[in-house]
Chain A
Amino acid sequence: MAPSELIHLSAADLAARLAAGDVTSVEVTQAHLDQISAVDDTIGSFLHVDGAKALAQAATVDEDRAAGKALGPLAGVPIGLKDVFVTRGTPTTAGSKILEGWTPPYESTVSARALAAGLVVLGKTNMDEFAMGSTNENSAYKPVRNPWNHDRIPGGSSGGSASAVASFETPLSLGTDTGGSVRQPAAMCGLVGMKPTYGSNSRYGVIAFSSSLDTPGPFGRTVMDTALLHEAISGYDPCDSTSIDAPVPGVVAAARKGANGDLTGVRVGVVRELGGDGYETGVMSAFEAGVQTLRDLGATVTEVSCPHFSYSLPAYYLIAPSEASSNLARFDSVRYGLRVGDDGEASLEEVMSMTREAGFGAEVKRRIILGAYALSSGYYDAYYGQAQKVRTLLARDFTAAFEQVDVLVSPTTPTVAYPIGAKVNDPLAMYQGDLCTLPASLVGVPAMSLPVGLAEDPADSGGTPLPVGLQIMAPTMADDRCYRVGAALEGALDASRGAPFLAELAIR
């Protein structure tokens, strides 16, 4: 099979061909490394690629398969890991200069599970520094470009993981979603991206941004691929005090059930507060067409009001910077990372300040200062305390909504991917891109984005149309509902298009 064909196969197809002996993991891995060599200078998905290590790992999987060992369903399939996952022996920077050159002495639980499942790690993917940002322009190393239009953002902060899958450098990748950082780039790059229930994927070895929100999550080109990766990495971890000690819902089985295309009896709620003014016309059209397809599949669709959702954005931008200002205190020039100004004269405090000034980028500094302000005495009750109360109101909204419907849907983002640099000096405008993803983050419920179509690019009328994502939210630990509804919708949309969503990008 030609390498150009291999890179366009889904992870599930690749796994089937590997299992059948049609192709080896070494061949599959080499094909993806070649694609990285061909396109990554332009796209910028990866911060670190270790071809030799990946090929050695692939060879081990091939030997195990030849020896008849029992292997996981994704054994031999390549994956890219967001550079926020700590990987033993492989550089990890979280997209920041303060960790440049750091090689961790331990492995994150999620990446360890990916390795144990036989997935072949191609390298570490680019990201906004410490996962802060909605555009991937805040990487300290280089911006990531959207594979659909290289002048557009891929979305952030897991933009490197998203662009790597969309540009066929890897069939699967992992990101982290704090306020929407898996779902938003998935929507902007035309992928499936999942934020699992908070606490169902371990945060051990994930460099912390906002501890009560950070959630590792999978990217794939299809709902089934995403489900296979979801199941491989999820589950209880005693190393994480927020890990949920309960069985992971059967998301692969749910994706299979959804693929039969019948949603009879499924109640879908369209969130009234997530749509309308401020949302691009093309985004709303593609979203509404997706909702109509759900009706055609037998789902009952009703409008649901979640009156406090509009307070998610201000609450998030108090809570996340507050937790970040605390988490990032560990970058103190002592135990790892950068040290600046240690000339024998400067004090520890001065060295710490100079190091943090040199090592952190503008978005990180802005959020550290904002967080310090929101947590300071005199302002705590007015800002941070109030934001935590909004969280309670959001949880009540979700509870009330899920008494009426099985899943909630909305557009994933209010706009399609916008030009690189468009909002770089206007943080509030950039933050607006997270409007739809934040409620699920603040309450911890699972949510998926999947591509429902293309919309005209408002910044380039008549130019390349850009992907639109539809978000599916479900109750805590009911991640399987997202997969069932997502797989049914994907199947119907692919049938109407005559091809999988990303086929159009593969041909161009």
Chain B
Amino acid sequence: MSESKISRDEVAHLAHLSRLSVTESEIDTFAPQLERILEYVAKVGEVAADEIPPMSHNVPMTNVTRPDVITPSLDRDEVLRAAPAAQENRFRVPRILDEEA
């Protein structure tokens, strides 16, 4: 077996950073799959020489603004109806304090 490029701990860490509470069996599945994929995609390094500029997009990007005119927005009640929890015309979120405790 080739030397592991992505460990189980790394998969768990990346999942945590991505706010995904993955199970042990998912880590067992993902780690070898991701390792194979990463070995394969590393091929991009064969041709991507320093002098080649990266291309992020095929469309020349310009800042898009609209006229500074007040227009109707989404209906607040309609938006809040689609939320998992709402209270007093706002999105209700779970506890946010003491997260580091």
A interface with B by C-beta (< 8 Å): 102-106, 198-199, 212, 238, 241-242, 244, 308, 311, 313-315, 317-318, 325, 329, 332-339, 342, 344-354, 356-357, 360, 362, 365-366, 368-370, 372-374, 376, 382-383, 385-393, 395, 427-428, 431, 443-445, 476
Contact = CB atoms under 8 A, between A and B. Distances in A.
B99 interface: yes
B58 A366 contact: no
Nearest to B95: A347
Interface of B: 6, 10-11, 14-23, 26, 29-30, 33-34, 36-38, 40-49, 52-59, 61, 63-64, 66, 74-75, 78-79, 82-85, 91, 93-96, 98-99
B37 A427 contact: yes
A133 B79 CA distance: 30
B93 to A, nearest CB: 5
The secondary structure that dominates the B interface is: loop
Contact of A353 (B19, B75, B98): B19
A317 B44 CA distance: 10
B58 A335 contact: no
A337 B20 CA distance: 16
A369 B15 contact: yes
A373 B6 contact: yes
B59 A369 contact: no
A311 B49 CA distance: 13
B44 A387 contact: yes
Contacts of B85: 339, 342
Nearest to A360: B20
Nearest to A106: B74
Nearest to B66: A238
A348 B94 contact: yes
Contact of A339 (B22, B30, B36, B84): B84
Contacts of A199: 58-59
Given A105-B74, A311-B47, A392-B52, A317 B95 contact: no
A242 B57 contact: yes
Contact of B45 (A244, A386, A388): A386
B94 A105 contact: no
A318 B40 CA distance: 10
A198 B52 contact: no
Given A332-B19, A334-B83, A317 B37 contact: yes
Nearest to A352: B19
